[in-house]
């Protein structure tokens, strides 16, 4: 079905793999549409509990496709609202794990930032180098990166265009974990499987509350969290989870 991505499912875990190896998985319009098509189906499937987004050993995605962008004008960018469709990927219900090896630059870094968990191999390189070609990040980098690692670190990466390695990415909070390259796929699946085995509605509540922390004051965020916590007491998952704990058995969500 697809030319620029590969997909697979294993149990309740789905995987989308960028597949433009000759272009270091550069993100063009076709790839974006194929990712959204596949992710939409996974998002609607109640049998899928988590999505892994990944590339290959050489590159997660080395940026947007500059050949496609270089011919654009202000009028075409505005008319087509370029990159806006990536917002759909960020908004999907399904929790997302990015498994990053090699280059995650520009748009590649920005798409990884749309995921809930970012796992990096020890070969990963992150960066927002758009300034080197007369651009700025356009798929959320100035916003998501700043919220994640803070203003001064985001300014450092965006204004200098420098790459950082996996160790520095872990140090500044850009990634969740760093593992060896040959264990990245297995680790990503293990993490995704753990998430997928929990109750979907509870996972969704937890994700919503964490995301709210980036968009609200502490006071309103705490109030929202408490309301969500109270609401989960009407859900079967809460009853099963607590009963299983008291009965010293594994819950059956």
**Any catalytic annotation for residue 64?**
yes
Which of 140, 135, 89 is CA-nearest to residue 115?
A: 89
Contact 196, 253 (CB under 8 A): no
- CB-based contacts of 114: which residues, under 8 Å, 6+ apart? 86, 89, 90, 96, 140, 144
Considering the candidates 55, 63, 102, 107, report the single residue annotated as catalytic: 107
**Any catalytic annotation for residue 107?**
yes
Considering the candidates 62, 110, 154, 192, report the single residue annotated as catalytic: 110
Considering the candidates 26, 38, 64, 124, report the single residue annotated as catalytic: 64
| Helix and strand element counts for the chain (H, E) | 12, 10
Residue 155, H or E segment: helix 151-160
Contact 50, 196 (CB under 8 A): yes
Considering the candidates 61, 130, 196, 225, report the single residue annotated as catalytic: 130
Crossing angle for the helix pair 200-212 and 236-246, to the nearest 10 degrees: 100
Q: In this structure, how many other beta carbons lie within 10 angstroms of the beta carbon of residue 219?
A: 8
Phi (first) and psi of residue 138, to 5 degrees: -130, 5
**Any catalytic annotation for residue 55?**
no
Contact 126, 109 (CB under 8 A): yes
C-alpha 246/C-alpha 98 separation (Å) is 35
Q: Give the catalytic positions in this structure.
A: 64, 107, 110, 130
């Amino acid at each position: 079905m697809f030319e620029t991505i590969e997909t697979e499912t294993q149990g309740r875990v789905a995987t989308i793999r960028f597949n433009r190896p000759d272009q270091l998985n550069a993100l063009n319009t076709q790839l974006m549409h194929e990712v959204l098509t596949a992710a939409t189906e996974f998002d609607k499937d109640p049998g899928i509990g988590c999505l892994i987004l990944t590339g290959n050993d050489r590159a997660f995605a080395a940026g947007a496709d500059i050949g496609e962008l270089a011919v654009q004008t202000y009028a075409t960018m505005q008319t087509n609202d370029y990159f806006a469709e990536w917002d759909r990927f960020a908004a999907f219900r399904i929790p997302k794990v990015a498994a990053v090896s090699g280059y995650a630059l520009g748009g590649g870094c920005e798409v990884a930032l749309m995921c809930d968990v970012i796992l990096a191999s020890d070969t990963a390189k992150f960066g927002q180098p758009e300034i080197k070609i007369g651009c700025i990040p356009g798929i959320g980098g100035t916003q998501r990166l700043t919220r994640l690692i803070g203003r001064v670190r985001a300014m450092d990466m965006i204004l200098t265009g420098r790459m950082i390695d996996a160790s520095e990415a872990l140090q500044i909070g850009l990634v969740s974990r760093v593992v060896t390259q040959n264990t990245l796929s297995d680790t990503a699946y293990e993490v995704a499987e753990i998430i997928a085995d929990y109750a979907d509605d509870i996972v969704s509540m937890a994700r919503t509350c964490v995301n709210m922390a980036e968009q609200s004051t502490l006071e309103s965020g705490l109030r929202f969290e408490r309301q969500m916590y109270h609401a989960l007491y009407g859900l079967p998952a809460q009853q099963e989870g607590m009963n299983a704990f008291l009965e010293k058995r594994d819950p059956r969500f």
